[in-house]
């Protein structure tokens, strides 16, 4: 396992980090399986575990808490808040009112008195940067969080938050957690240059592109991944974006074979090869999935393999642009771009 410094925090984290989104109902992962995954991950040298309050309505945090009991000090523990937790309109977002409540609930579910990294799950256009950063700074000073970061923020919002922290003399975001894979490279054009400029650590989620790069999806095979059962439109080969992904996967499979690698090794090593990326977040549903992903821990792609990937999916290109999560609201809601 390799280790890198998380932004400018001085904290050393593994280049593969364990994402716990699949723990519980979302991934049908039981507590026994979750504990076995955490055990194996820690034994392999992974020291960062990432979850969120909304994963299976808090069940993921509870399962992580049980799995790490007795070894909290050896783990860099991260969670997130901001996504809706109920139908109540104020049980979401990044207001001071909600973040204080949400963090206490997360700490209770995790069974800890602090988290090392508290992340705002999505940019909240209803709440000012000053409001959010002020609340996070106070929670940091209270000892409930060590650092805080953003997740899936558009590049301009990352910059704006850095300036707001400076202007109001508040603590700043020290990490960003964007989606990034061989098939979704859009952040290379805007987000990653900004994170490098401001010295942010980057925890890349979905490095296997929701299973497209797992090796299980190939031309002529029925697509039966866990994600395809509840997001069928994202795997329908009749859609142009999915056709483009499938074509790219077939070409990437040959690159992996020629390099003596599995698709998983190729995909994870590609993400961690970018100098702006600190860690790739893997999200295994079973211990078997974890072991297949751990095989990428020490893989370093040579220049010719990276060049071959660039020839298949060009730098800065998203093959499924409609699945981006950091699109500015004005591009999605016409009322925001018309007088």
Q: Please, are residues 185 and 318 in contact by the beta-carbon 8 Å criterion? A: yes
Instruction: In whole angstroms, give the CA distance from residue 47 to residue 12.
Output: 9
**Nearest partner of 179 among 291, 313, 321, judged by Cα:** 321
DSSP calls for 196-262: HHHT-EEEEB-TTGGGTTSS---TTS----HHHHH-GGGG-TTSHHHHHHHHHHHHHHHHHHHHT--
Instruction: In whole angstroms, give the CA distance from residue 158 to residue 34.
Output: 33
Instruction: In whole angstroms, give the CA distance from residue 115 to residue 112.
Output: 7
The residue from 3, 55, 180, 198 that is catalytic is 55
Q: Please, are residues 199 and 8 in contact by the beta-carbon 8 Å criterion? A: yes
Cα dihedral value 289, 24, 202, 82, nearest 10: 160
Question: Which two three-digit tokens encode residue 38?
Answer: 């955490």
Strand 16-19 to 279-282 pairing:
parallel
DSSP calls for 133-196: HHHHHHHHHTTSEEEEEEES--HHHHHHHHHHHHHHT-----EEE-B--SSB-GGGTTHHHHHH
Partnered with residue 196 across adjacent β-strands are: none
55 is known as an active-site residue? yes
* Neighbouring residues of 230: CB distance < 8 A, sequence distance ≥ 6: none
Show which residues are catalytic. 55
């Amino acid at each position: 396992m390799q280790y890198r410094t998380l932004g400018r925090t001085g904290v050393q984290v593994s280049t593969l980090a364990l994402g716990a989104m699949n723990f519980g109902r979302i991934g049908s992962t039981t507590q026994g399986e979750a504990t076995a995954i955490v055990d194996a991950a820690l034994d392999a040298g992974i020291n960062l575990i990432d979850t969120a309050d909304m994963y299976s309505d808090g069940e993921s945090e509870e399962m992580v808490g049980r799995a790490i009991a007795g070894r909290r000090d050896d783990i860099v523990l991260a969670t997130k808040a901001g996504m809706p937790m109920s139908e109540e309109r104020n049980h979401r977002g990044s207001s001071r009112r909600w973040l204080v409540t949400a963090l206490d609930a997360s700490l209770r579910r995790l069974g800890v008195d602090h988290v090392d990294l508290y992340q705002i799950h999505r940019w909240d256009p209803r709440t000012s940067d000053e409001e959010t950063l002020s609340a996070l700074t106070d929670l940091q000073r209270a000892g409930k969080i060590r650092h805080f970061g953003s997740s899936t923020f558009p590049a301009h919002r990352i910059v704006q938050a850095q300036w707001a922290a400076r202007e109001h003399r508040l603590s700043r975001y020290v990490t960003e957690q964007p989606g990034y894979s061989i098939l979704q490279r859009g952040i290379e054009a805007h987000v990653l240059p900004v994170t490098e400029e401001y010295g942010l650590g980057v925890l890349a989620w979905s490095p296997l592109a929701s299973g497209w790069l797992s090796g299980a999806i190939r031309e002529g095979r029925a697509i039966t991944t866990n994600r395809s059962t509840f997001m069928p439109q994202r795997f329908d080969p009749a859609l142009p974006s999915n056709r483009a992904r499938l074509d790219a996967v077939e070409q990437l499979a040959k690159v992996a074979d020629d390099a003596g690698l599995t698709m998983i090794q190729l995909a994870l090593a590609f993400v961690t090869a970018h100098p702006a990326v600190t860690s790739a977040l893997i999200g295994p549903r079973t211990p078997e999935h974890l072991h297949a992903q751990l095989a990428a821990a020490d893989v370093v792609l040579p220049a010719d393999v990276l060049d071959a990937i660039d020839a298949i999916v060009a730098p800065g290109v998203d093959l499924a642009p409609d699945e981006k999560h950091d699109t500015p609201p004005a591009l999605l809601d016409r009322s925001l771009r018309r007088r």
